[in-house]
Amino acid sequence: MPRYALKIEYQGAPFAGWQRQRDQKTVQGAVEAALAKLEPGLGSIAAAGRTDAGVHALGQVAHCDLTADWDPFRLSEALNYHLKPDPVAILAVAVVPEDWHARFSAIRREYLFRVVSRRAPLTHDRGLLWRVPHPLDADAMREGAGALLGQHDFTTFRSVMCQADSPIKTLDAIDIETRDYPGGREYRFTLRARSFLHNQVRSIVGTLERVGAGAWPPERVADALESADRAACGPVAPPDGLYLTSVGYPEDPFKSA
């Protein structure tokens, strides 16, 4: 039974997250329904990460086992046909070894969080960015973010519903870039780690936004981290601006796709 890796892009607004739920529209449910059109009775698929309701993906990865030997390109075309009109697209398909796993074989995950500072409401990008009405100090946010790099107990930035065995994680990178945006300015937060806790990225960005707005001094981020207390966290950023951009593996299964 061949195993296939799927690289998936989706707009998260219409979905109650990645994970299949009874009586809820989910990304996993949409992909599995498309696969069932090709092979009825297919089991569940596994993904590299379970994104929350409203969170987007540019490079989610999942795997599935099929009975037929599909040409990867033809499989992606067939799935995209059956996924319409949902805002989900299969960007690439690759044949992988039977012991390869989208989640457990991954060695890196990267997220992007987009924040825009402008007074006017969003129109074209509504649901795709977090709009704040005030300017942000990028240098102050970078200073605060520096305390989060490396291995730490991230209890402060962990959802109370997080099911991870340990709050110890290693944040390999957190970069903050700025660019022009119509009527304002966009701030792009890129975070990279082997794995993340539930709501860790949104908690970090929400806290750094308070630093950028001048409500927190940069050093308060280090104090919040050190406290290992969820109550010390800033507001959790909304899901609108969050994107799972890529998942890394020892060998890229899509390098020839």
Per annotation, catalytic residue among 52, 65, 137, 153: 52
- CA nearest to 156, candidates 237, 239, 52, 231: 231
Closest by CA position to 215, among listed 143, 148, 140, 142? 140
Q: Pick the closest to residue 95 from 33, 4, 170 (CA basis).
A: 4
Distance between CA atoms of 143 and 218, rounded to whole angstroms? 6
Dihedral angle, C-alpha 91, 96, 101, 103, nearest 10 °: -30
Paired tokens of 52: 């929350």
What is the rounded CA–CA span in Å between residue 203 and residue 217?
17
- Is residue 180 part of the annotated active site? The answer reads no
Q: Taken in order 107, 238, 145, 57, is the CA torsion positive or negative?
A: positive
Give the residue numbers annotated as catalytic, written as ranges. Answer: 52
